[in-house]
Structure 1
Amino acid sequence: MNAKRLPHGGEIDRTRPISFTFDGKTVSGFEGDSLASALLASGITILGRSFKYRRPRGLFGFGVEEPNVYVDIEHQGSFLLNQRATTTLARNGMAARAVNASPTAAADRMGFIDRFARFIPSAFYYKTFMWPNWHLFEPRIREMAGLGRVNPDHQGPVSVQVNHVCDTVIVGAGPAGLAAALMLAEAGEKVLVADDGVRPGGSLLHRDAKIDGMAGLDWLSRTLALLADLGVRVLPLTTAFGLYDHGLIALNQRHRDGRADTLWRLRPKRIVLAAGAIERPMPFAMNDLPGILSAQAGLAYLRRHAILPGERIVVASNNSTGVEVARAMAEAGANVTLVGETGETSTDIRHIRGRITAARGRSAVQSVILDNGETIATDCVLVSGGFSPTIHLYAQARGKLRFEEATAALVPDAEIPGVTVVGGAVGHFTLAEAFAALPQALAVDAAPPVAAPQSYTITPAWPDPNMKGRVWIDYQHDVTTKDVALAVRENFVSVEHLKRYTTLGMATDQGKTSNLNGLALMGALTGRTIPEVGTTTYRPPFTPVPYSSFAGLRGGQRMEPLRRLALEPEHRALGATLGEYGGWLRPVRYGSDHSAILAEAQTARRSVGLFDATPLGKIDVIGPDAAEFLDFIYYNSIPSMKPGTCRYGFILNESGIVYDDGVLVRLTEDHFIVSCSSSHVASVHAMLEEWRQDRFAKRKIFIHNSTAESATVTVTGPLARRVIEDAGIDVSLDDTVFPHMTTVWGRFGQARLRATRVSFTGDRSYELSIRQDLVGPLWKALEESVHRAGGVPIGIEAVMMLRAEKGFIVIGKDTDGMTRPMNLGISGPLHKKKAEFVGKRSLLTEEAQRADRMQLVGLVPADGKGLLPTGAHGIDVSSGAIRSIGYVTSSYPGVAVDHPIALGLIERGAARIGDEIDIQHLGERRKARITLPCAFDPKGERLYA
């Protein structure tokens, strides 16, 4: 391949040269080059290796359609993984390395794999590596799979997320998109245009055009000026990668200066898809050799980067666009042969009607063989097999496609509310046709631009099942015609099965260059038409999006500020060691010595303890329909609750998995307080709102998260009642008036407070909730009273010890993503509750009702070796092999009992009380005895002591 930079022309800035390295070799370019254009101009032929066979590959495309050349990049301390060379701007000092190649693309030591291609067709690994054991081969196969290598030590820049409001989002800043933007903006709409190119213009930047009597580039300049005057925002380097529910369109914007990408979220009234079309490859043997490019890509490199891709160029086209490409190459000084059923050309271009049947060459194309037997020496082949509309976003919005014979393309079949498709994306492959359709498509009364008359004709050139040699259908995944034929022989004739069996059109490619040729070949092999074969499902993202864009500013104090307790100064004054729990800075213990935790817990058991429970959720649910609503939300029955009472209950997700637990307080007939786990307040609030809007949209329900408005202080222990009385709190503590699991109102001085008698420790306990700004004096009075009673303030770790000893769980610690209420010994509501509730149907499935499910149990060391390790697995060795039967979820020293205690989820645990089981952790074996979860006061007498 003898590509070269021309002395004049292009969009590059020749006054600003740059240099970077590729696979360790220095490459020169200019400001305005992409990595691909600079590499092409440098004369480097092999720029990548194919995914499966490690075949040498060069450039094929110009933009997001590029299937071959991906690089990992290091630049100014940043690391970018799996970047398409065609969409990555070249920057001075950049170090790029080809992915899937070792040590370099040109000298890949795994290149020999291609010699064994006949033994490794599609799905070979399913058949080859099952014997003697898949796990013997798995590590090496996984090491070779995938593209690029993650640098786990890299700390990338922080991305920004933007929520933008406008009337219309237009995807694509080509001529159709810009014309649509102008017509809508002049009609008074607020418009945003997104385009993944470096600059707006689309095909006008490299193809000949005449619009409104002026050259295409002149019309482009005038239109952009008019759009700027109308306030239209045009975002270059911005890819619309997904259309989601409720009209959400997501954009990812890259930046020239190397800043982290920006994620845009918009829900406009209308989305106009003007993303153009992607040129298809031509099927012939060895059509993946370096030096074989898309014809439009070759034209773009010529006119935008002043690069002539070869000296002896063959343009192979089955449609009328090949003539323009051939003329442009000839005018730039190349010796050009045009092969195909196309229109007339100039006299300095040799025109042969026919098709290429094979290419020849080792590391690059050196010649092509035609169907008439003629061999033509060449160093560059530009192919055009027709155009496929870029309908990925339309398909993501559940749009259906139809095959149009006249253009040999899949086009949108019907309108989708809120989505309009125009230009090449709808199959209008001439400007005149695209412009003429705009007024009706956009429903605006405005005259569209007028383009010079053009015609587009095509003679289908689909893959032939009888083609000889290796004909590539999908460059990115190394899928050939023989792979598709194998899928058919093995009865994978559904288009979705074909996709998964061969990997055709998967991953980042999403069928951009491969899909239609694959569908046509499947049809030919099975005697079906392309419409009968059907299409695969296009999935977002359209092109890869950095994880940092999705994450945005989610971490750190700016976006996740540590929540602070109103009593933090008081805790610090008492010598508290503070730590983060569920996003709150809370007292771990009082004192620096870790042994203080057990001492605090023992004091609380013996006399009384005082702890700050402010982070517990306090979500008000109010209204005449609140009881019915919460009965749907909770696993437990709610309407039978009387005002002034409390009930412990579970909230499940739709899969029947325990999502949260806590106490529900009913203040009045139509006023409840959901006291959820402190770390789940935001998510439980969001869940309540989601169900209120979805299922109870027209009901009288009001939800308010008042967690931040009040502070809660808990007094627990045998002397808790005496402490409350001694602290001067005006509340009736008589057990007949204020029994366990009830709530009453009282006063502290002039302040009103709510006292709730619930316990997370197993001892008599009182939760006192008061306004945040009034909690200081209340804490001081209680602390002094606790001190007089011989008690102490206790931190969260002591509370964890006390609750585990009582057998109380912590969601996410003593449960996992498979834990259902029955696993925790609570199955009554499933059988007794008649009302529908979230997750009910999932609890009735065969999986949920399995007799061998994990069940919550207590565990006591049976070997005298002390604490059981948290996370240790219970194991069954009866079959000779080690099998996990569950694991330890919590483990602590005993507080009121004389032995360590633990909780765990163990297979069939409830039926195995008293049994000894083996426990294994980090290679060490232990013995444990299964007990009931409650190790302390199983009759609950201490709640009333």
Structure 2
Amino acid sequence: MNENRKRLPAGGRIDRTQPIDFSFDGRTLNGYRGDTLASALLANGVTLTGRSFKYHRPRGIFSAGPEEPNALVTLGAGGRREPNLPATTLKLAEGMAAESQNRWPSLGFDLQSINGLFAPFLSAGFYYKTFMGPTRRAWMFYEHFIRRAAGLGRAGIEPDPDRYEVRHLFADVAIVGGGPAGLSAARAAAMAGANIALVEQDFLLGGQLLSERSEDEAAAWLKAIETELAGLPNVTVLRKTMAFGTYDGNTLGLIERNDDPVAEGAARQVFTMLRARSIVFAAGAIERPLVFANNDRPGVMLASAARTYLNRFAVLPGRRILVATTNDGAYRAAFDLAAAGADVTVADQRGDPPAALAAEAKRLNIAIRSGTPIVDLRGGHAVKAAKLAGPGGNSEVACDIVCVSGGWSPTVHLTAHLGVKPAYRDDMDCFIPGSFPAGHFGAGSIMGRFSTFDAIDGGHRAGIEAAAFCGKSAAPAAPVRLDLRETVANAFRAIPFSGRGKAFVDFQMDVTAKDIELAYREGYESVEHLKRYTTLGMGTDQGKTSNFAALSAMAVLRQATIPQTGTTTFRPPYAPVAIGALAGRAVGHHFKPFRRTPMHDWHLANDAEMLEVGLWMRPYFYRSAGRDVNEAYVAEMRIVREAAGLMDISTLGKIDVQGPDAAIFLDRVYANGFAKLPVGRARYGVMLRDDGIVFDDGTTTRLEENRFFMTTSTAKAADVLSRLEFLLDTAWPDLRVAVTSVSDEWAAMSVAGPRSHDILAAAFPKLDISNDALPHMCFIEAEFEGPALRIIRLSYSGERAYEIYVGASNGEQIWSRLLEAGAPFGLKPYGVEALGALRVEKGHVAGPEIDGRTTLDDLGLGRMVGKRAGFVGDVLRRRTAFGAPDRQRLVGLECIEDGKRLRGGAILFMPDDTIAGHGRGRITSVTFSPELGRYVGLALLAGDAAVEGREVLAAYPMKAETVRARIVSPVFLDPKGERLHG
């Protein structure tokens, strides 16, 4: 085990009795229980942790929380590979393997760092200016290279083996933030009688109190409050849980992350929807960086982060430290670092600090340089020296760490997710939450109360008010006070950088001060335009450390105030959320559960290869017919054409339509008439949308005078029912009609083929199914040995066929009976691939042709309507454009090149056309026809080219292939219908 290089021999909140081995870029390192990955890396002397997005500049650990812009790592491998995780928020775990990102071939030597030499050409908006070119093809050429260079980490592409959960929690009072304000609020609200949910993104409670010395009074206060809350049964504490969004109904979106090795069956992450009656926001504040040349070098970090690493993790980040500040708050970091043995210099941009701070600095041998901003750094992979611009001129200070502090920005993000704009406080130079909606409260630094005393006092009041809002009025005890005697941060804004060199405002997206100036010069003055033009704040950190500096700079350029300049819109999530966490267990068939027909188990038991079709599992083909689908479906087609086949059609939508006005209703719904349909007869019908486009087709049977049995396509079953209900509720509420889905009540099967009549006669010998009793498009209803049967004689295959409907519980019984009775006649089951091929041979349109863009006339169905009027879509289907001569219409195609085949989706051209663009049309459906011995297909082809006998070229751009085909009638088989009429 390697010895920690910067770990202090004592102190901190780590457990030195539990050492942990981990690796970074393949190098084995060690830390302790209680470390974060970032603190362990610093303890091992690792200062270079990543490369920047655009220039690939070396970057190091900058913060100690979720605002981290630089130290992003990838964890895991294979399906567990997760990129762009801030090392500062990852609890160190045994065996953790982290990789740096955005570098090649290594972190220390990154070839793409050459981008820095081309910085003048990579300024804000360079994509738009450089890569568009004179033609569209220029962008198509550049896009490949841009996308390869884009991004930071690379996600895994294998299935994620981990488990994720979604849960729901309820509370009277939800408290976001486990710092002194949040803890005080939780205590007060709980003692008032409210049920409390305390949410803290860290794995320890305490917030900024964790940055105090572990042996000080702050640690004692924290331990006492934690103990008290643990003894209250109405308090639930959610550690390692980030509140990422505020939503309507006082709902908070939470993500709990588990970085420890996950036990078998345990969840890696949990997405919780927390619904509360009131919410207290105690999310604290984020320290601001300073803008100066080379301010992104490894070794530059926030002053509060340096103090956290020192006091919480016992890591002294450097020996010669410069603290550059614009406020009093950073002096506490300087004092603690000096007390730990570092040589500290403070560069204060203001005048002389308050006397008390100056006296303490003198006691600790800290040199103070007043009125002295930092303007530049020297160093490559680590800081070596800082350049200061004091009253007496420029000077250089040798240092290995630079701690910066430009004041504090309250973490207002969650309070703004419901549209409440932050309000600017000039006296504190920061934005605080705007007016809270009823039931929302704030406490601590988020309200601009930066002292611990004020945070505890404000949290206590907010807790009482939140509990009272929920009707809880028990009087809590007085707050347990803690006064660390902090000096409140002064309002002193750093002067925007105007010197030479790269001065970064957004570290993650490589946005510099000069980029902001350029955006202003080019007219992007709005902060929302600035954000999108420069990509400022669009990284995984969402500009948490950069936004205020950017709008301050724009305010100066515009000669406007901060409120006049405004802020960007805060939207959830506050920090990146894994899609797996949002999905929980709703993945695969748990996300989109499939439906089984009543004969599903029979299909599996009889060697069917199943296919997911929409929400249904259907037999694709039967392995008894062939080794693969290409062989099997042709064999199954021959069975249907020569003998008979049995098909499971239970997936069809089935709707019961009944009422005194049912016939009138169907007359309006279908383009072809149904009012005069006799009882016991069936009719093929087509529905249109309001705009005249074909919506769905199917068959409807008149069972009784006022009752119909409608079948729809499998894909549109739910849509058709919804459409019918909509029309009855809105267009024709006066019609006395009820529509009910009966799809799951009926098992359905089709027997098709020249021997189909013989098979039904053998299966149901007591039923009269002769041509006279049951002609084509007719229906009978009967009982056979108990089960009720509906038999409709209709065909989509071109062969004589019967659809048999029976109660779902009797489906497999009737299915097996048909197969048994049909065995002597050669009856075999067939799958959906053969079903689709059979309907193509017969020229029946289906989903590929009814694709939401075709009309009745396009599909050759206009003659069904004739001069009828008054149905849905009738008016708009008559638009002139729908009758244009070049409008694509349905045709048949047959391949005329030996050794080649037609393919669905091919683009059609005339022989003398240039093969480019969208062509004259497209192939919609294709099959090999055993009857014709060649590939045939249905296509939509421009009407002025759709002349039977003409030759066309079917082009496949992805394969650089063309195939010659001849235009023919779309009805390839039995055009007179002699087979299906028997």
1:329 alignment partner AA: L
- Relative distance call for 1:486 and 1:657 in structure 2 (3 A) is farther
The residue aligned with 1:337 is 345
Shift of 1:288: 1.4
Q: Which secondary structure state, in structure 2, belongs to the residue aligned with residue 71 of structure 1?
A: strand
Deviates more, 1:74-83 or 1:369-378: 74-83
**Match of residue 413 from structure 2:** 392
Say if 1:569 and 1:279 are closer, same or farther in 2 by CA, change over 3 A. Answer: closer
Partners of 2:124 and 2:13 lie apart in 1 by 42
2:169 equivalent to 1:137: no
Aligned counterpart, 1:901: 936
Matched ranges for 1:9-48 at <5 A: 9-48=11-50
Q: 2:893 aligns with which of 825, 849, 859?
A: 859
The verdict on how the C-alpha distance between 1:251 and 1:574 changes in structure 2, with shifts beyond 3 A counting, is closer
Query: How far does the alpha carbon of each residue in 1:292-329 deviate from its partner, in whole angstroms, 9 at most, with x for none?
Result: 11122112111211112222323333334223222222
Residues 411 and 628 of structure 1: is their aligned pair in 2 closer, same or farther, counting only changes over 3 Å?
farther
Once structures 1 and 2 are overlaid, which stretch shifts more, 182-191 or 603-612?
Answer: 182-191
C-alpha deviation, 1:604, in angstroms: 2.5
Residue pairs, 1:149-168, within 5 angstroms: 149-152=154-157, 154-168=158-172
Residues 626-667 of structure 1: CA deviation (Å, up to 9, x unaligned): 9999999x8979997989867655698x99999976567787
Q: How big is each residue's C-alpha offset from its partner over 1:66-89, in whole Å with a ceiling of 9 and x where there is no partner?
A: 001112234799433232211223
Picking from 471, 487, 492, the partner of 2:519 is 487
Q: Does 1:369 align with 2:388?
A: yes
CA 1:46–1:596: 2 relative to 1, 3 Å: closer
Q: 2: distance between equivalents of 1:32 and 1:518?
A: 35
Q: Deviations over 1:648-688 (max 9, x none)?
A: 55698x99999976567787899887755556778989999
Q: Distance between the aligned counterparts of 1:320 and 1:746, measured in 2? A: 92
**Residue 479 of structure 2 corresponds to residue 449 of structure 1:** yes
Counterpart residue number, 2:647: 611
* Match 2:268 to one of 240, 261, 267: 261
Q: How big is the shift at 1:46?
A: 1.8
1:341-420 to structure 2, matched below 5 A, reads 341=350, 343=354, 344-345=356-357, 346=360, 347=362, 348=364, 349-363=366-380, 364-365=382-383, 366-372=385-391, 373-375=393-395, 376-416=397-437
* 2:320 is equivalent to residue 312 of structure 1: yes
Instruction: State which drifts further: 750-759 or 234-243.
Output: 750-759
Alignment of 1:857-896 (within 5 A): 857-874=891-908, 882-885=916-919, 887-894=922-929, 896=931
Which range moves more in the overlay, 382-391 or 511-520? 382-391
Structure 2 CA distance for aligned equivalents of residues 471 and 14 of structure 1: 40
Partner residue in 2 for 1:85: 87
Superposed counterparts of 1:133-532, under 5 Å: 133-152=138-157, 154-168=158-172, 169-186=174-191, 189-207=194-212, 215=218, 217-219=220-222, 221-223=224-226, 225-227=228-230, 229-243=232-246, 249-259=252-262, 261-266=268-273, 268-270=275-277, 272=279, 273-338=281-346, 339-341=348-350, 343=354, 344-345=356-357, 346=360, 347=362, 348=364, 349-363=366-380, 364-365=382-383, 366-372=385-391, 373-375=393-395, 376-416=397-437, 421-430=442-451, 431=455, 432-440=457-465, 443=469, 445=473, 447=476, 449=479, 451-452=481-482, 456-462=488-494, 464=496, 466-532=498-564
- Deviation per CA, 1:431-482: give whole Å up to 9, x if none: 0344434434562545573645666343242552645443211100000111
- Name the CA distance, whole Å, in 1 between partners of 2:691 and 2:270: 31
Q: CA deviation at 1:40?
A: 1.2
1:573, 1:250 → 2: CA distance?
45
Specify the SS of the correspondent of 1:160: strand
Is the partner of 1:15 in helix, strand or coil? Answer: strand
Question: 2:448, 2:691 → 1: CA distance?
Answer: 43
Whole-Å separation in 2 of the counterparts to 1:802 and 1:771: 27
| Shift in alpha-carbon separation, 1:695–1:477, aligned structure 2, 3 A | farther
Structure 2 residues without counterparts, runs of 5 or longer? none
1:792-831 equivalent positions in 2, closer than 5 A: 792-811=828-847, 819=853, 825=859
Residue 751 of structure 1: how far off its partner (Å) = 1.7
Measure how far apart 1:802 and its partner are. Answer: 1.1
8 Å contact from structure 1 (residues 368, 378) kept in 2:
no
Letter in structure 2 aligned against 1:601? M
How many angstroms apart in 1 are the aligned matches of 2:662 and 2:508?
Answer: 55
Which residue number in structure 1 is paired with residue 581 of structure 2?
A: 549
Percent pairwise identity: 36
| Contact map agreement 1:54 1:114 (CA 8 A) in 2 | yes
> SS in structure 1 opposite 2:574?
coil
Distance 1:620 1:38 in 2: 68
Q: Is 1:102 aligned to 2:121, yes or no?
A: no
In structure 2, the CA distance between the partners of 1:219 and 1:248, relative to structure 1 (3 Å rule), is closer
- The answer to whether the Cα contact below 8 Å between 1:729 and 1:748 also exists between their aligned partners in 2 is no
Offset at residue 898 of structure 1 (A): 5.3
SS in 2 for 1:449: coil
Q: CA–CA distance in 2 between the matches of 1:692 and 1:200?
A: 58
Compared with structure 1, are the counterparts of its residues 587 and 319 closer, same or farther at alpha carbon in structure 2 (3 Å cutoff)?
same
The structure with the larger Rg is 2
Segments of structure 1 that go 5 or more residues without pairing to the other structure are none
Change (3 A) 1:897 1:55: same
| Corresponding letter in the other structure for 1:747 | E
Offset, 1:121: 0.8
Q: Is the 8 A contact 2:321 2:343 kept in 1?
A: yes
2:560 & 2:109 partners in 1: Cα distance? 43
In structure 2, the CA distance between the partners of 1:210 and 1:52, relative to structure 1 (3 Å rule), is same
| Alpha-carbon spacing, 1:864–1:160, altered in 2? closer, same or farther (3 Å) | same
TM-score, normalised on structure 1? 0.85
Determine if contact 2:670/2:871 at 8 Å carries over to the other structure.
no
Task: Please give the secondary structure, in 1, of the residue aligned with 2:479.
Answer: coil
Shift of 1:50: 1.0
Cα 1:69–1:457 change in 2 (3 A) is: closer
User: Residue 584 in 1 paired to residue 638 in 2?
Assistant: no
> What is the SS of the residue equivalent to 2:962?
strand
Does residue 118 in structure 1 map to residue 120 in structure 2? yes
The residue matched to 1:37 in structure 2 has which SS? helix
CA contact (8 A) 1:403 1:531 kept: yes
Shift of 1:103: 2.4
The match for 1:777 is: 813
CA distance, structure 1, for counterparts of residue 719 and residue 246 of structure 2: 25
Give the TM-score normalised by the residue count of structure 2: 0.82
What SS does the corresponding residue of 1:67 show, helix, strand or coil?
Answer: coil
More deviation in 787-796 or 871-880? 871-880
Larger displacement relative to structure 2 (676-685 or 922-931): 676-685
- Whether the 8 Å CA contact 1:100–1:147 is kept in 2: the answer is yes
In 2, Cα distance between the equivalents of 1:254 and 1:903?
Answer: 53
**Range with greater deviation from structure 2 (742-751 or 906-915):** 906-915
1:407-451: CA deviation from partner (whole Å, max 9, x where unpaired): 322333233467655543454444034443443456254557364
Q: Deviations over 1:780-825 (max 9, x none)?
A: 33234444556443232221211222344554x5677x75668964
Aligned pair in 2 of structure 1 residues 602, 137: CA closer, same or farther (>3 Å)? same
C-alpha distance in 2, partners of 1:417/1:627?
54
From 965, 968, 974, the counterpart of 1:928: 965
Take 1:420 and 1:731, find their aligned partners in 2: how far apart are those partners? 76
Offset of 1:198 from its aligned partner?
Answer: 1.7
Is residue 194–residue 234 contact of structure 2 (8 Å, CA) maintained in 1? no
- Answer whether contact 1:10 1:304 (CA < 8 A) is retained: yes
